[in-house]
Structure 1
Amino acid sequence: MDTLHTRNQMEMARNVHDVSSLNNLREAIAKGEDQSALQETAKQFEAIFVQMMLKSMRKAQEAMADEDSPFNSQQVKFYRDMHDQQLAVDLSSNGGMGLADLIVKQLGQNNPDYTSASVIRGDGNLSSINREAVNNVQRAQDVVLPDKSVSDNPPPVTPAYKAPIAADQKAFIEALYPHAQKAAEKLGGDPKAIIAQAAVETGWGQYVIHDGNGTPSYNLFGIKADKGWQGKQAVVDTLEFDKGMPAKQKAAFRAYGSIDEAMQDYVSFLQSSPRYEKAVAESQDSQAYFNALQQAGYATDPAYADKLMSVYRGSTLNGFQP
């Protein structure tokens, strides 16, 4: 009878919004009434983990979303979050990521082939693992940083982080527009197209690289510091796409003294590189310009051109009057 009762509670608990059933399930596992209760609780924990990942993905997407779109209303977001919560529970109930199985093995202690990490670890081999991680980072930095043997005075590299340079989207546009206008004249394009690209690269100026002293780099276009760059640079985590899959990497980026300096280097960067020749030639057509940038490999994001066009056509940028 107790087993049947617990099974009913488990079936009800798969509805993430049934708080009372989740509480009853917690009581069942605390009393040790049924091994299946532990399995269901582990699935609920995995569902929470999946829900956190979905929430982070949604939050990252909002940086490029059109805030005036009906699909971004508070009501839509409310029901979308409810859907994500239930989706996380359903995914974990149908196999999920395998996290629930590990939890059951760890807490159930009923599998002779499984040994708790607390028993076997001791000091473990964490030091060698950490050493290997440090070496991997160093090897990655050696690829993008200048060869120190070439010069006795290599460009300074400082630890960096990302922080805002503008209070909001309007302030970001106002700060960039006069400089973007000069850059657009040299490229033959629309200054708002240039600002749209800066908005996507920096999340409307909310994620601009700053050095360890809090000085902004004004790197508005995600231009990396290759071996030919002789100016200041900063190393930060960045998201790159490999075969369509995102991965976090360390990379060195160029640092500038002002927005105007960043805009000038952006123009020089495009005009001096043969790979962006087609993009510069089509700069009068913003859609073709964005497509050419993506085709030339400006960014690894497979949806890069679409994101640029979405911001370019958005009401925030189009509503701005210089």
Structure 2
Amino acid sequence: MDLTSATKSQLEMSRNYHDMGSVNKLREAAQSGDEGALEEAAKQFEAIFVQMMLKSMRKAQDALADKDSPFSTEQVKFYREMHDKQLATDLSANGSIGLAEVIMQQMSPGNGVIPASAVRSDGNLSVLNRHNVAAIQNAQDRVMGTNNENVAKGSAFKEAGFASPQEFVKALYPHAVEAAKELNMDPKAMIAQAAVETGWGKSLIHKKDGENSHNLFGIKADKRWDGEKATIDTLEFVNNVPEKQQASFRSYGSFTHSMEDYVDFIKTNPRYEQAIQKSESPADYFNALQEAGYATDPKYAEKVMSVFNGNILGELIP
């Protein structure tokens, strides 16, 4: 439906984050059933979503920033927040992400169409998740140094051990089947946890001599461990805020050894008794692991389950 010049101008102005009067005009037009207003409302919703992502990224950046930097002042943060909000609005108006289009398809009166992409098991967020993973990895590289820098310093580093998720699953699943029997759990759940810990094998800890540690589950080398270990910078969450720390991780001779030690680590540690009792349910198991302190990431269980229920494992494991 074509819009009048006046209405179209009002809707275009509603894209400006600072123009609150035009946003009110958009609300009034949407209530009248204007399809153009529905489109703009969808773009506004997308803008809010993008704004939330930018805010989360800024929060993580601030946690790692130099407090004495002139770019860390409250004034800079104030204007940066205004910029981010307008940027989110502009990105949604240009259709850069595509969320508004999906909303339009589902909300348009009489459409009756639910796109297949909207009912996928991962909510059609696969591409977005991959971008988020890449962004997180880039942020970690900037904070903790790249692999080349770590090698030059003679430090442990992270490096890819597999070319693709398919290769990762194909190599590890047969061993996971055997190890998972000891915990009475789905081997697919064990693969999902290893995928989260290592980024599908793209971020495996290597010792300073370049030897692969084969550590699939991020198990640290505490006082009970008398084997080989690799010390590396890592990000831990302290009061839900990421913090750079240095930690020593267990090093194994093979991935099979890593899985066997994971089983032993879980079974012999009293704090994970509740998790073992719930091992038949992956969601309950990983929630219990998180509550017992297996990982400091407050969304650890959620991340593992998103991989467990995602398309990659669904396609590779029957």
Q: Shorter-chain-normalised TM-score: which range? A: 0.5 to 0.7
Q: Residue deviations 1:31-83, cap 9 Å, x none?
A: xxxxxxxxxxx969x859x98xx9xxxxxxxxxxx997533458xx7xxx9xx
Q: What's the counterpart of residue 300 of structure 1?
A: 296
Q: What's the counterpart of residue 216 of structure 1?
A: 212
Q: Of the candidates 268, 278, 281, which is equivalent to residue 282 of structure 1?
A: 278
Q: Of the candidates 116, 125, 140, which is equivalent to residue 71 of structure 1?
A: 125
Q: Report the Cα distance in structure 1 between the residues aligned to 2:156 and 2:205, rounded to whole angstroms.
A: 6
Q: Residue deviations 1:87-145, cap 9 Å, x none?
A: xxxxxxxxxxxxxxxxxxxxxxxxxxxxxxxxxxxxxxxxxxxxxxxxxxxxxxxxxxx
Q: What's the counterpart of residue 205 of structure 1?
A: 201
Runs of 4+, deviation exceeding 4 Å: 66-69
Cα RMSD of the aligned pairs, angstroms, is 2.9
Letter in 2 for 1:227: K
Q: 1:255 to 1:67 in 2, by over 3 A?
A: farther
Q: Report the Cα distance in structure 1 between the residues aligned to 2:279 and 2:121, rounded to whole angstroms.
A: 27
Q: Report the Cα distance in structure 2 between the residues aligned to 1:165 and 1:67, rounded to whole angstroms.
A: 28
Query: What SS does structure 2 have at the residue aligned with 1:171?
Result: helix
Q: 1:69 to 1:47 in 2, by over 3 A?
A: same
Q: Of the candidates 170, 174, 179, which is equivalent to residue 174 of structure 1?
A: 170
Q: Of the candidates 223, 233, 239, which is equivalent to residue 227 of structure 1?
A: 223
Query: What SS does structure 2 have at the residue aligned with 1:300?
Result: coil
Q: 1:190 to 1:253 in 2, by over 3 A?
A: same
Does structure 1 retain, via aligned residues, the 8 Å contact 2:176–2:187?
yes
Q: Report the Cα distance in structure 1 between the residues aligned to 2:274 and 2:127, rounded to whole angstroms.
A: 39
Q: How does 1:237-252 map to 2 (within 5 A)?
A: 237-252=233-248
Letter in 2 for 1:320: L
Q: Report the Cα distance in structure 1 between the residues aligned to 2:288 and 2:198, rounded to whole angstroms.
A: 20
1:314 corresponds to 2:294: no
Unaligned runs of 5+ in 2: 1-15, 19-74, 88-119, 136-153
Unaligned runs of 5+ in 1: 1-11, 15-41, 55-65, 82-157
Q: What's the counterpart of residue 44 of structure 2?
A: none
Q: Residue deviations 1:153-183, cap 9 Å, x none?
A: xxxxx83100011110011111110111111
- Structure of larger gyration radius: 1
Q: How does 1:1-322 map to 2 (within 5 A)?
A: 69-73=123-127, 159-321=155-317
Q: Residue deviations 1:246-277, cap 9 Å, x none?
A: 10100000000000000000000000000011
Matched residue pairs, number?
A: 187
Q: Report the Cα distance in structure 2 between the residues aligned to 1:310 and 1:182, rounded to whole angstroms.
A: 23
Q: 1:73 to 1:225 in 2, by over 3 A?
A: closer
Q: Report the Cα distance in structure 2 between the residues aligned to 1:299 and 1:260, rounded to whole angstroms.
A: 22
Deviation at 1:206, TM superposition (A): 0.6
Deviation at 1:288, TM superposition (A): 0.6
Q: Report the Cα distance in structure 1 between the residues aligned to 2:298 and 2:259, rounded to whole angstroms.
A: 25
Deviation at 1:281, TM superposition (A): 1.3
User: Greater RCO between the two (CA within 8 Å, min separation 6)?
Assistant: 1
Percent identity reads 50
Does structure 1 retain, via aligned residues, the 8 Å contact 2:195–2:201?
yes
Query: What SS does structure 2 have at the residue aligned with 1:187?
Result: coil
Query: What SS does structure 2 have at the residue aligned with 1:297?
Result: coil
Q: Report the Cα distance in structure 1 between the residues aligned to 2:126 and 2:165, rounded to whole angstroms.
A: 17
Q: Report the Cα distance in structure 2 between the residues aligned to 1:286 and 1:247, rounded to whole angstroms.
A: 28
Deviation at 1:286, TM superposition (A): 0.6
Query: What SS does structure 2 have at the residue aligned with 1:249?
Result: strand
Q: Report the Cα distance in structure 2 between the residues aligned to 1:294 and 1:247, rounded to whole angstroms.
A: 18
Deviation at 1:211, TM superposition (A): 1.2
Letter in 2 for 1:214: G
Query: What SS does structure 2 have at the residue aligned with 1:70?
Result: coil
